[in-house]
Structure 1
Amino acid sequence: MDAGFIDLDILLTRIRQPQSKIYFLDAVKAYKAGALRASLTSAWVALVYDLIAKYRELSALGDAAAAAFLHDWDAATAADDVRKLLQLEATILDDATTNTQAVNRIAHKHLERLREDRHLCAHPAFSAEAELFEPSPELVRLHLVNAVDLVLSQEPLQGKAIFDLFDVDVLSTGFPTAHVRILDYVEQRYLARVRAHNIRNFGMVLGKSLLKGVPPQWEPQHRKIVSSLVAVRERAAPTWPDISLAIIGLINNLEPEHRPRAIAFIGAFPDFWPLLQEPTRTALQETVDHTDPATLAEYRLLAGVSLPQFREPLLHVIAGLDRDHLGNAIAAQPLRDLWPRAVEEFQDSGSFRGSEANFRDLIAPFAGRLGSQQLDELLAAVIENGQNWDAADTPGSLLGLLRNAIPADRPTHDARNRFYDHLRRMGRLDKYADVIATLQADGWTPPPQQDEHA
């Protein structure tokens, strides 16, 4: 912005903090009155106050570096320790650039010049010719514009603190689990108030976690990490090209033991496939083609089934999984392509206890992920095997699954009718009373009993 032409009164309207605006108004008044040294001194005061106010906002968001600086500042204020306050004031620009990253390095250079010129104005400093420092109107105006443009008009943006905050947050029970909610949550909590270069670094850290399993504590949060990286791609789009280049380089140089992770990553982000080097694509395809279902250990590799190049061989792997491997694969990630095997295994349960274990291990992990067709298949699997419909835990397990289904994904009325008719014939309506009530919640009514002699 051209400091020579901007209206200083308009500049005032861009300041976020009301108290900062009051302090900066003193600088504008002094400038208009020709008191240029006083103007620079007031501008510096407004700047320091505004940074402290930003630190308080960042501290409330969990920024440890901001909290540490404020602790020292507030302690010195309470103790009336002027020497300590002057020391903190002298270093606040460096702290804001290096620790909290509330100020970027280019802005630091401009603002450091303001601090130096303010120092000359506020103290009786003389040159060798014994002339009092007298800033020019143009210099003062430039400093006023820079103070507003670079700090006073800006939102308090998080810097390196994003990584520490996310590390704790993603492991907590308060972090959302539904994909759409994660997108909104990550955007609002992390992307909206973080500097662009930190968002790029954040995206690269997420990508590295998916591809290399670091940090290890994020491993059980695989789905959350994938959704968080999708949030970066969709909600911070300007940073995505740089992130993509870094991730492509990482995949192209990935160690062989991490190739199953790369296959899962490509399954979640298929746009990366054509961007990889040809030898990398060859290595990943060969890894998929030679996966043995009997020795499969890295189950997340199955997520690559969504990519056309991987689909046929991975469907073959899924078809060859035994019951234990199937349960492990579903526990790792309940993919839709695992559902046919899961419901088939459940339908063929050979005992009451086996049925309950199959529901727990193979069916329940799909809660909230099943559409109408899959729920129709589940109701059919229940009634087609007495070991299922008469198992003690089946009504409660089925009830929990149905309650997790959104209205649009409820079973079809035909499937409900068949389910109800079977229970009525077997005399089990009382046992499934809560399930029937849940199925009626969207307006379905049980079919009337047909007269067998009609």
Structure 2
Amino acid sequence: MRAIDDLRAAVRSRAVREQFDEAARAYSAGAYRTATIALWIAVVQDLLGKLRELAGDGAANALVSDVDAARSQNDFKKLLAIEAGILDHALTDFELIEVVEHRQLVRLHEDRNRCAHPSFLADEEAQYAMTEEQVRAYMVLVVDSVLSQPPIVGKALIVRYTDDTRGSSWPDRDSAEYVRGRYFTRARTQTQRQILQIAVKAAITPPDGDHTAAGRNVATLRAALSFDEKETLDVLADVLHKQRDTMDDSKLRRLIGAVGWIPRTWDVVGTDITMKCRTLLESADLTLLLEDRAFASGAPAHPELATTYAAALERLSVDQLRDLSGRYLFERRQFVPLLLAQLERAESWRTAGGLMAALVQVSDLLTLHDVQQLARIFVANSEVHHSFDTPPTLVQIVQQTAPVDGAHTEWVQMFDHYQAKYAANTGSTGGTGMYGDLAALLTPGNTVERAYTAPSHS
């Protein structure tokens, strides 16, 4: 059983806390009918206070104006009517409470009326009695459902979420904490589900063709899975069950890139849809796969589809890979192994330069193993170290990997090996002058700064 002091500490409003204290004192004294009445007063007081905090909401302003007008005119009949309907307003108009809470609070209101108005009972009935357990349960109910909750209107939060996904202030590079704190930490369960439903639908079908908004909705799903996996997967399943039989080829391609990385997706859509997606990855024109963002979220969480997906990635040109690797709303890590493999096979300076430019855009994701592989490729493949595009891009990569433990040592060893190899082939290290900036960066005692930030793309 939760301590009364803990319940009291959870009450947001100082004025409402004083009213709750009155209820607590009555409860402690065994005056359970009085405590019930005081708890109902606290609920009404808190809800009206929240409506005043919701300045700018038309419905809230209208209701507050009605209250103020009735008070100024001593219109007690109107005030009683407003009080009687406050729970309905809180549920339907403002979503300040949920359906189950509404039902429980209605019962509190009914018990309050029985306690406050003996005339509600038949003359032969005994005086209405409240038990200690009933009142204690009501104390927990009113604190958890009303008194501890912030004045966030569910509908307004949903509108704000939708607007934010289309705005310019969304933090595309690291949005998990942003999503949780701004939309889920204080939102009701019902509102959370509505936001998740929007996220699933908009991830698969971009609102007004806005691919950036779609990517942000995918980011919302990634964030939500990290702190409420069950609810997120339940919503995903519900939406996919309703849509699976109406998906055309374009929507299926988007399905792959939007939610294909979630294993539950393929359990829900079934074998037939999975087979269709595999066929699209095998045979669809790359332009269509790119337009529908099939490569946005990484390999599908399905063994056969993952293999087909990897083969589709191999069909991408250097320019296409360079474009994809710079999109921060994409799962960019998936391109690192592919870029390194293609760089190792590069047969021209131009190809090598394009791949190095793409690697710059994912350099913030490189591991020590990636650095070691890139260092080996740089020394071994002359098309890479002879490309005029390599010196500036390599400097940027070295700067971006400065936080990686052991990376600096690998870069120094790479350059030493390169100089030794060049001298062995030419009898001189003079031709390594195009890497003067790199040599200066790797000089003992020089501080490697992360001066480069890749551009953000949708």
Q: Give TM-score scaled by structure 1 length.
A: 0.71
**1:98-109 matched pairs, under 5 angstroms:** 98-109=92-103
2:389 alignment partner in structure 1: 388
1:14 aligned onto 2:7: yes
Q: What CA deviation, in whole Å up to 9, does each residue of 1:137-165 have, x standing for no partner?
A: 228984x4454232224431653444223
Give me the whole-angstrom Cα distance separating, in 1, the residues matched to 2:273 and 2:206: 19
1:448 alignment partner in structure 2: none
**How far off its partner does 1:259 sit?**
1.0
Distance 1:225 1:434, change over 3 A: farther
* Paired letter, 1:252: R
Give me the whole-angstrom Cα distance separating, in 2, the residues matched to 1:71 and 1:434: 69
Q: Conserved in 1, the CA contact under 8 Å of 2:207 and 2:213?
A: no
1:339 aligned onto 2:330: no
* Paired letter, 2:433: G
1:321 to 316, 332, 355: 316
Q: What CA deviation, in whole Å up to 9, does each residue of 1:3-38 have, x standing for no partner?
A: xxx99xx55652322543431343455578898876
**How far off its partner does 1:247 sit?**
4.2
Distance 1:262 1:410, change over 3 A: farther
Q: What CA deviation, in whole Å up to 9, does each residue of 1:82-107 have, x standing for no partner?
A: 66993654443222212332222233
Q: What CA deviation, in whole Å up to 9, does each residue of 1:293-326 have, x standing for no partner?
A: 4765436323554553134444443333334444
1:242 to 234, 244, 262: 234
2:433 alignment partner in structure 1: 427
1:404 aligned onto 2:404: no
**1:302-321 matched pairs, under 5 angstroms:** 302=295, 303=297, 305=299, 307-321=302-316
Give me the whole-angstrom Cα distance separating, in 1, the residues matched to 2:259 and 2:141: 40
* Paired letter, 2:235: I
Give me the whole-angstrom Cα distance separating, in 1, the residues matched to 2:124 and 2:345: 90
Q: Conserved in 1, the CA contact under 8 Å of 2:440 and 2:446?
A: no
1:152 alignment partner in structure 2: 143
1:281 to 232, 253, 274: 274
Distance 1:327 1:109, change over 3 A: same
Give me the whole-angstrom Cα distance separating, in 2, the residues matched to 1:132 and 1:403: 87
2:39 to 37, 43, 50: 43
**How far off its partner does 1:231 sit?**
2.6
**How far off its partner does 1:441 sit?**
4.7
Q: CA RMSD in A?
A: 4.6
Distance 1:206 1:215, change over 3 A: farther
**1:374-385 matched pairs, under 5 angstroms:** 374-376=370-372, 380=378, 384-385=385-386
* Paired letter, 2:105: L
1:200 aligned onto 2:193: yes
Helix, strand or coil at the partner of 1:277: helix
1:213 alignment partner in structure 2: 206
Structure 2 unmatched runs, 5+:
420-428, 449-458
1:94 alignment partner in structure 2: 88
Give me the whole-angstrom Cα distance separating, in 2, the residues matched to 1:438 and 1:191: 48
1:182 to 175, 186, 193: 175
1:166 to 152, 161, 166: 161
* Paired letter, 2:141: L
Distance 1:347 1:108, change over 3 A: same
Q: Conserved in 2, the CA contact under 8 Å of 1:349 and 1:358?
A: no
Distance 1:56 1:407, change over 3 A: farther
* Paired letter, 2:45: Y
Q: Give TM-score scaled by structure 2 length.
A: 0.71
1:445 alignment partner in structure 2: none
Give me the whole-angstrom Cα distance separating, in 2, the residues matched to 1:122 and 1:294: 72
2:64 alignment partner in structure 1: 73
* Paired letter, 2:196: G
Distance 1:222 1:399, change over 3 A: farther
Aligned pairs, how many? 416
Give me the whole-angstrom Cα distance separating, in 2, the residues matched to 1:188 and 1:47: 26
1:3 alignment partner in structure 2: none
Q: Conserved in 2, the CA contact under 8 Å of 1:402 and 1:438?
A: no
| Identical pairs, percent | 19
Q: Conserved in 1, the CA contact under 8 Å of 2:371 and 2:410?
A: no
Give me the whole-angstrom Cα distance separating, in 2, the residues matched to 1:294 and 1:105: 47
Q: Conserved in 2, the CA contact under 8 Å of 1:121 and 1:133?
A: no
* Paired letter, 1:385: H
Segment drifting more, 381-390 vs 247-256: 381-390
1:417 alignment partner in structure 2: 413
* Paired letter, 1:109: R
**How far off its partner does 1:345 sit?**
9.4
1:447 alignment partner in structure 2: none
Segment drifting more, 324-333 vs 228-237: 324-333
Give me the whole-angstrom Cα distance separating, in 2, the residues matched to 1:31 and 1:20: 17
